[in-house]
Chain A
């Protein structure tokens, strides 16, 4: 299968994502921000970094890139779009996902391991996980505190759209003490149809035992297995 990897000026995790795709046995296709052509990929990854310097707000300018017009249309057709870190910020700015990502409560840039509890195992990204599996995947960001209105948070939880929540290593609740202070400890969310995932932690940096964890590889393999089984994934809602 072909994973598209978006490259904006200032993207820094594009090669790590491409490396992870190759490790999973698939083909990475780099997609330049000025292009419209998605080159027939099965899934678009919006990787981490500081697109356009992240000036004004993280992801605010990337949202208007020519490539993002195609990505939005691709997502509307049910195409798989996976925003990681800066990619999650871009998806929120583009209103493909609700809410916003703000300065970490600690005001620190946090680059460290984090533990995620899988909250939804119906999505094309997480169906290879068991409910409440714990994944060790690092975070690396200064602005990853997920915020949204109470009504939006309730809606996300009620409809199973919280994909991952930060927990302690032993799986216990962090109780607001996540790496960034996200509301309800949210680390990743899905769109209504389940074909768009945004997450702050970096699964591409947890794909080899040498790096301390290979848990991120499970997500890449899950996407690839689904696409392999069904051809291009067509979303039918996550519930």
Chain B
């Protein structure tokens, strides 16, 4: 089956995020006065073949551990995993 996984990689809460601070300041300047904090991360979309959902989740988790995130500074979560019709 073909799966699409949406992975979100974000800086750990204790790591300073100058991009997030800059975006927050921009939003405040635009008048979004309710904004208190912004964190900038990465969205990685992976299309892949796997036997079933459990297998796909396990493989994507391994990808995150080995390459997609740096465990020193980043966390990850698999945001969504859905099946798609195989492309023609």
Contact = CB atoms under 8 A, between A and B. Distances in A.
Interface secondary structure of B, over-half rule: mixed
19 contacts: A60-B70, A92-B72, A93-B70, A98-B72, A99-B72, A100-B70, A100-B73, A102-B73, A103-B18, A103-B19, A105-B16, A106-B18, A107-B18, A107-B19, A147-B16, A147-B72, A147-B73, A148-B72, A181-B16
Interface residues of B, number: 11
Interface string B5-37: 000000100011011001000000000000000
A104 interface: yes
Interface of A: 56-57, 60-61, 64, 92-93, 98-100, 102-107, 147-148, 181
B67 interface: yes
A107 B22 contact: yes
Contacts of A100: 70, 72-73
B67 A60 contact: yes
A82 B22 CA distance: 34
Contacts of A102: 11, 15-16, 73
Contacts of A57: 70
A57 B73 CA distance: 11
A148 B15 CA distance: 9
Contacts of B73: 100, 102, 147
B22 to A, nearest CB: 6
Contacts of A56: 67-68
Contacts of B70: 57, 60, 93, 100
Q: What 10 A-B pairs are tightest by C-beta distance, nearest first?
A: A100-B72, A100-B73, A105-B18, A107-B18, A100-B70, A57-B70, A103-B18, A107-B22, A147-B15, A147-B73
Contacts of B11: 102
A104 B72 CA distance: 17
Contacts of B68: 56
A27 to B, nearest CB: 35
A60 B70 CA distance: 8
